[in-house]
């Protein structure tokens, strides 16, 4: 008799324990966040982590009475580690929501791992059109970063407006997915806007001397030089262009002309470079009328960021904050952690964010959900950014380099 009672007692205790853990599991909202927290792309991953952490904190750490738990994983800027982390998050931790990684190559490597269980996936990075191809028609994939061609779409139009037709363009592009993918797009957009492409020169990532390429370009006497390279090479490119006194009146980059790190490293060579972006520090973007606490005006948000992290915010800080915040709002509005329902909410959000309106639209490339398509073209003028395009946001005119 006593042994039966003992066994009964144990079962009750065990059942109670199981029940309580089950209940605790339901009490948290878990979001997987694989980021490049070490290795080559640690700069990106660090911004990813800051953005997401800040969003969760500003939101209040809880949705309803459920705690938000972000499972950060370091993908070590390495494809294999990214696959492992992604798989662990989705198969073992069984998260339904993933935000990150950021670098093009790393995101591409994560795609097969994503396909295993297809969580709701927000990618606040990767401009690679290969990703766009791979994710054609996927309803659970949300891209909150410009595609590569959008840079050139913007700058070509802006320059055509300012310079007129018939001008000559030389393109320098890096050897690697980044440069090679964007080259045909750049050629297409510039040609469409009335430019003649007079030279396309390949440069090796990390090359010790870019002068040969620049001297060859000099011979073609272009009016515009477009540098489709990543930041590390862009530093050297800008410096060597400056030294070589190529006398090309207009210099265009991709993402890097807005980056503080690039500007500090290149010194006066940075002046006059043109870039495109969805976020410029100091831009005027107002708070969302209904969700001002979560989506404040850009100025207010920047001030808050500076107070928390004692540094100037950068593009990816903003992008990740905004993306994470949108996800949290979508989960709240869906009232459930069912990923299909959350995806529906996310897809129909209409919020004024610091990157522009949050509307997700399909792209010509086939991706279903692309947000933040309002590119702004700017030119560096000393420490300032002068917005050239679109006309309604412009606060200055194109200045030719002497």
Partner 1 sequence: MSLFWQCIVDSLLLGGLYSLMSIGLSLGFGVTRIINFAHGEMIMFGAYGAYFASVLLGVDPLLSLPLVSIVVAVTAAVLFKALIEKVLNAPHINQILLLFGLSLALQNVAAILWTGDARSVATPYSLTAYEFDLLLVPHGRIIAFIVAAILIVALFCWLRFSELGRATRAVAENGQAATLMGINVSRMYMLSFGINAALGAATGAISSFLLTITPFMGFHMLVKAFAIVVLGGLGSVAGTIIGAFALAFAETWVSYYVPEGNGWAEGVAFIVLLFVLIIRPKGILGQAVAVH
Taking Cα atoms as reference points, which of 210, 276, 275 lies closest to residue 246? 210
Options 25-33, 151-159, 188-196, 198-206: segment touching partner 1 (CB under 8 A): 198-206
Residue pair 281/250 in contact (Cβ under 8 Å)? The answer is no
57 near partner 1, judged by CB under 8 A: no
Nearer of residues 207 and 291 to partner 1, judged by Cβ: 207
Q: Is the dihedral of CA 297, 310, 85, 27 positive or negative?
A: negative
**Position 40 contacts partner 1 (CB under 8 A):** yes
Please list every residue from 323 through 362 that binds partner 1, using CB under 8 A: none
Residue with smaller CB distance to partner 1, 156 or 269: 269
**Shorter beta-carbon distance to partner 1: residue 201 or 374:** 201
The CA R_g of the chain, rounded to the nearest whole Å, is 24
Looking at residue 361, what DSSP letter applies? B
The answer to whether the CB of 279 falls within 8 A of the CB of 176 is: no
Alpha-carbon gap, residue 319 to 316, rounded angstroms = 5
- 236 vs 323, beta carbon nearer partner 1: 236
Query: Considering the rule CB under 8 A, would residue 231 count as an interface residue with partner 1?
Result: yes
Residue 227 DSSP one-character state: E
Q: What DSSP designation does 355 have?
A: T
Q: Which stretch binds partner 1 (CB under 8 A): 109-117, 129-137, 226-234, 320-328?
A: 226-234
With CB under 8 A as the contact rule, the residue among 201, 304, 332, 374 that binds partner 1 is 201
Kindly report the number of other CB atoms within 10 A of residue 72's CB atom.
18
Q: Contact with partner 1 (CB under 8 A): which of 71, 177, 198, 207?
A: 207
Six token digits for residue 297: 């005006």
Stretch that binds partner 1, among 18-26, 35-43, 135-143, 382-390 (CB under 8 A): 35-43
User: What residues numbered 239-268 form the site for partner 1, per CB under 8 A?
Assistant: 239-240, 242-245, 261-262, 264-268
- Tokens 């700017």 map to which residue? 378
**Residue 298 beta carbon to partner 1: minimum distance, rounded to whole angstroms:** 23
- Pick the closer one to partner 1 by CB: 91 or 260: 260
215 part of the interface to partner 1, by CB under 8 A: yes
Choose, by CB under 8 A, the member of 135, 171, 203, 354 that binds partner 1. Answer: 203
251: CB partners within 8 A, 6+ apart: 224, 225, 227, 238, 241, 272, 273, 274, 401
Among 81, 213, 280, 354, binds partner 1 (CB under 8 A): 213
Q: Tell me which residues in 359-378 interact with partner 1 (CB under 8 A).
A: none
The dihedrals phi and psi of 210, each to the nearest 5 degrees, come to -100, 0
Question: What is the residue whose two structure tokens read 């990813």?
Answer: 48
Interface residue with partner 1 among 57, 93, 133, 209 (CB under 8 A) is 209
- Say how many residues make up the chain: 402
User: Cα separations (Å) of 363 from 248, 323, 358?
Assistant: 34, 18, 15
In whole angstroms, what is the distance from residue 229 CA to residue 338 CA? 40
Q: Would you say 126 or 150 has its CB closer to partner 1? A: 126
Please, where are the H alpha helices in 63-198?
79-87, 104-117, 129-134, 148-163, 177-192
> Smallest Cα–Cα separation from 277: which of 173, 142, 186, 374?
374
Tell me: does residue 177 bind partner 1 (CB under 8 A).
no
Please state the closest distance from residue 243 (CB atom) to partner 1, in A: 5
Q: Measuring CA to CA, which residue among 101, 123, 144 is closest to residue 361?
A: 144
Only segment of 104-112, 190-198, 228-236, 336-344 that touches partner 1 (CB under 8 A): 228-236
Rule CB under 8 A: is residue 232 a binding residue for partner 1? yes
Q: Which of 233, 302, 317, 345 binds partner 1 (CB under 8 A)?
A: 233
Kindly write out the interface string for residues 98-127 of this chain, putting x where it contacts partner 1 by CB under 8 A and - elsewhere.
------------------------------
Size of the site for partner 1 (CB under 8 A): 42
| 390 cis-preceded (ω within 30 degrees of 0) | yes
Residues that bind partner 1 (CB under 8 A): 38-43, 46, 175, 201-204, 206-213, 215-216, 219, 231-233, 235-236, 239-240, 242-245, 261-262, 264-269
């Amino acid at each position: 008799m006593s042994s039966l009672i003992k066994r009964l007692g144990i079962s009750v205790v065990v059942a109670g324990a199981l029940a309580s853990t089950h209940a605790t599991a339901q009490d948290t909202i878990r979001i997987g966040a694989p980021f490049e927290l070490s290795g080559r792309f640690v700069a990106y991953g660090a911004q990813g982590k800051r953005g997401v952490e800040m969003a969760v904190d500003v939101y209040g750490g809880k949705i309803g009475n459920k705690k938000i738990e972000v499972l950060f994983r370091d993908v070590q800027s390495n494809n294999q580690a990214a696959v492992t982390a992604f798989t662990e998050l989705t198969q073992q931790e069984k998260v339904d929501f993933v935000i990150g990684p950021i670098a093009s190559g790393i995101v591409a490597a994560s795609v097969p791992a994503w396909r295993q269980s297809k969580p709701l996936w927000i990618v606040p990075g990767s401009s690679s059109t290969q990703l766009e191809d791979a994710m054609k028609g996927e309803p659970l994939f949300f891209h909150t970063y410009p595609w590569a061609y959008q840079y050139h779409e913007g700058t070509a139009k802006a320059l055509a407006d300012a310079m007129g037709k018939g001008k000559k363009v030389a393109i320098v592009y890096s050897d690697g997915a980044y440069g090679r993918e964007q080259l045909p797009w750049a050629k297409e957009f510039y040609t469409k806007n009335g430019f003649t492409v007079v030279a396309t020169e390949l440069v090796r990532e990390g090359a010790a001397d870019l002068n040969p390429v620049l001297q060859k370009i000099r011979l073609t006497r272009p009016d515009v030089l477009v540098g489709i390279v990543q930041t590390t090479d862009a530093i050297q490119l800008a410096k060597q262009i400056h030294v070589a006194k190529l006398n090309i009146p207009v210099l265009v980059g991709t993402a890097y002309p807005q980056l503080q790190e690039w500007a500090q490293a290149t010194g006066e060579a940075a002046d006059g470079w043109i870039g495109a972006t969805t976020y410029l520090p100091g831009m005027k973007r107002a708070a969302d009328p209904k969700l001002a606490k979560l989506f404040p005006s850009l100025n207010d948000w920047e001030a808050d960021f500076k107070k928390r992290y004692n540094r100037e915010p950068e593009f990816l800080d903003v992008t990740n904050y905004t993306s994470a915040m949108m996800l949290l709002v979508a989960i709240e509005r869906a009232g459930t952690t069912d990923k299909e329902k959350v995806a529906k909410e996310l897809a129909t959000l209409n919020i004024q964010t610091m990157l522009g309106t949050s509307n997700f639209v399909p792209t010509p490339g086939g991706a279903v959900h692309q947000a933040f398509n309002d590119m702004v073209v700017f030119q560096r003028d000393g420490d300032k950014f002068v917005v050239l395009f679109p006309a309604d946001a412009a606060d200055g005119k194109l200045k030719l380099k002497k």
